[in-house]
Amino acid sequence: MRFYEATRFLFPRHYERRILAICFVAVHLPLVGCIVLLSWRSEWDGSLFGVLLAATLLGTIGAIFAVSELLMPIRRATLMLQTVQRGGRVGPVPVGGEDLVGQLLHGVAQAANETARRIEQLKDAAERDVLTGLRNRRGFLDTVAPILADDSYSTIAMLDLDHFKAVNDDHGHDRGDQLLTDFADYLSASLRRSDIAARWGGEEFIVLFPGTSPRQAREILGRLQSVMRRNAAFTVGGRRVTFSCGLAQVRGYADLAGATRRADQTLYAAKEGGRNLIMTA
């Protein structure tokens, strides 16, 4: 480290140029020594000087190229670490040998992979509802953004468990939480792999049916209603638990807020209409 610190005045922001400058000086030492010796002896030999000069120039060019290439893995490793620090993704890390540079590349690869894994874990945790395991509102919006990037038609569904407050009041919040978890599980099982479900808040859930008409979405949710009617998990205190739903068509991400509002208004119309209904805006 002492020599490193002592030579920091040479290109303080460019380590590779510092190395090349040192190599340049080292390569030219024989030529300088030859000039000094010939001058001291007064035996100037033009042919010898020409050969040494040509060899020095060729050696300089070769050394600059070779050192620059040898430093390339360090340069790439530095750029990758900077990308990781900014929270970006890095491509495949080049694999080195068992020398010092190879060990550096291996360490960078491990750090990049571990950092990327932790970032994904933190992002997933931040976008998941702790109780149900579904996406939360933020996770839903982030997930559907690329899906709704074009202007194709999809369907938004807003679902709300009927009389959920009575379950909490009469049977406790633990039973209410279990009901929310069961509903989230059965909702997920009823959907297609392309559908995106999330807990919107409280006992309210949201689903995006990509490239799906409201009629098709209604059929999918109708099957969920049938499953809930047959399942004892959705009978609390002798009362069958149902859900109300509002559907709205959405075209592109710019229409998402409006479609969500329309679906929410239709949901409350279903509530006012007697509950356990699926209505379309």
203 pLDDT above the threshold of 70: yes
List CB contacts of 220: < 8 A, sequence separation 6 or more: 190, 191, 192, 195, 209
Query: Of 98, 203, 204, 219, which one is the catalytic site residue?
Result: 203
The string of DSSP codes covering 107-168 is HHHHHHHHHHHHHHHHHHHHTB-TTT-SB-HHHHHHHHHHHTSSS-EEEEEEEEETTHHHHH
Contact 190, 227 (CB under 8 A): yes
% of the chain at pLDDT higher than 70 = 85
- Indicate if 203 belongs to the active site: yes
Length of the chain: 281
Q: What is the mean pLDDT of residues 170-174?
A: 92
Q: In which band, very low, low, confident or very high, does the pLDDT at 11 lie, cut at 50, 70 and 90?
A: low
Which CATH class, in words, describes the domain spanning 137-280?
Answer: alpha beta
CATH 3.30.70.270 residue ranges of the chain are 137-280
Residue 3 has a pLDDT of 64
Residue 94 has a pLDDT of 63
Higher pLDDT, 25 or 7: 25
Return the H-helix or E-strand segment holding 190: helix 173-190
Residue 21 has a pLDDT of 76
pLDDT digits 0-9 by tens, 57-94:
787 777 778 777 777 777 777 777 777 777 666 666 66
